[in-house]
Amino acid sequence: MGHARALVNIDDIEQQLGLFRRIVDEDLSVRRVEQLVRNGAAAPTETEKKSSQPATPVVPAAELRRTERHLTERFGSRVLVKPGPQGRGEIKIAFDSVEDMQRILHILQPA
């Protein structure tokens, strides 16, 4: 909700959409978005205006889901794959207890 409050302070719809995409891509916090809006950094730079292609290739959603399913089966726990900007991202493995965490850590250790 806080992200939306910050976005409504931008008059230009293209700038709103650009910042919205940046929020999603970079997983920006509400405070960071508010700071960008205050400082006028929500406006796209000349490079961003000229470049309609993302800097890094986007991983297809189907491939992400397939990877999540594979890892979920491998670890026996829910796994989320969250891509980020410039090819970075996160892999989150859920666990239910300390023993479950130790089981997962044992799977991660090299043989």
Whether the Cβ atoms of residue 9 and residue 37 lie closer than 8 Å to each other: yes
Q: List the chain pLDDT tens, one digit each, 111 residues.
A: 577 788 787 888 888 888 888 888 888 888 888 888 887 765 554 545 555 555 555 777 888 899 999 999 999 999 999 888 777 889 999 999 999 999 999 999 987
Which helix (H) or strand (E) element contains residue 101? helix 98-108
Q: What backbone torsions phi and psi does residue 93 show, to the nearest 5 degrees?
A: -115, 120
Q: What backbone torsions phi and psi does residue 43 show, to the nearest 5 degrees?
A: -70, 135
- Give Dmax over CA atoms of the chain in angstroms: 57
Q: Give pLDDT, residue 44.
A: 55
CA distances from 109 to 82, 102, 105, 106 (A): 23, 11, 6, 5
Structure tokens at 35: 């700071």
